[in-house]
Amino acid sequence: MISSEQLLDQEMRQLLESERFQIIKKIGHGAFGQVFLVHHPNLEEEFVAAKVIMNEEFDMNEWDSAGILSQDRSQISPFIVRNIRAKQFDKMTVILMEYSNLGTLFDLIKTNKNLPIPMIRVIMRQILQGLSYIHSKGLIHRDIKGGNILLHNPIGSGRVILKIADFGVAKTKTGNGVNIQVTVIGTEPYMAPEFILGDGQEKVIADAKVDIWSLGMLLYKILTHEFPFKINSLVDQHQFMANAVLIRPQAIADNILWDFLQKMLQFDRNKRISAADALNHQFFTGKQAEREITIEQNQLSQIAQAALINGDSTVTQFDTKPTFVLPLTINQKRKKKNLRE
């Protein structure tokens, strides 16, 4: 007997096929619906991700947020997932999105426990560049975590690009764009103190700094493989926020890195660093950062420079800078580990 889930899957596939999509494989699923890797002869992109959801689950806020970020094609950040188009049918909505072919940052850090600091630096630089762009457009993401950072390798480039995804809970800043009332939402271990200490209020005063806290907590997790509180205890997390003390773990020996993390995990949002200022921190701009640029990063950036000169429109200004280059070998090491397991 076919289950209701299987029937829904069949219905979604039939809808895509009726619109002349060739389904390559399913790449995601959940309560919201399904995501398929597809090809369409009329699209410029060879492959795209097709998110198929029931109409009642379609979040116009997600589409509006993506529209704000994509208004000027020449200025679109390569570090966010681009929505291509959406179409609503009788029962379902199909959203076409840029396809990222290497999974998520969560997958990477789960299988690669000891990422070298120079590679962590590039990962953080790319995400912060994406966040800076999002915030400059008047948006707050509100759910930054490893599972919402996708990894993509432009075929043949040897590089990995990180892309911020899932704008379903993004919030548009209004007024002066500094302080606004926002609904308390996100993934609990990554939620900022202003959310956790909201005394049960549905809405609290917050700003774009909630994303910086979330990213700081993600960095803490990458470096120590844990959170600074018990993961399954809201009471412990609340107490950590109320005490407002971040104890330096033994795993973080680098003083510059520790200073950078502290500035991201300031309990007072008014003292917390912004995405734009974070990119100018010594962790990215100091002599140590310059010394730790690898030969491979330099080589890949030079290849990108040559491609750009030769008219390759897929290459961006960031690809030509070694400080933004994350070599594909970081993912190949992960694959080798999976094979050993």
Annotated binding site: 51
Residue 197 CB neighbour total at 10 angstroms? 14
In three state form, how does the secondary structure of the chain look?
A: CCCHHHHHHHHHHHHHHHCCCEEEEEEEEECCEEEEEEECCCCCCCCEEEEEEEHHHCCHHHHHHHHHHCCCHHHCCCCECCEEEEEECCCEEEEEEECCCCCEHHHHHHHCCCCCHHHHHHHHHHHHHHHHHHHHCCEECCCCCHHHEEEECCCCCCEEEEEECCCCCCEECCCCCCCEEEECCCCHHHCCHHHHCCCCCCEEEECCHHHHHHHHHHHHHHHHCCCCCCCCCHHHHHHHHHHCCCCCCCCCCCHHHHHHHHHHCCCCCCCCCCHHHHCCCHHHHCHHHHHCCCHHHHHHHHHHHHHHHCCCCCCCHHHHCHHHCEECHHHHHHHHHHHHC
Contact call for residues 93 and 85 (beta carbons, < 8 A)? no
Structure tokens at 299: 């080589």
Distance CA 209, CA 140 (A): 8
Binding residues for ATP: 51
Structure tokens at 132: 């800076």
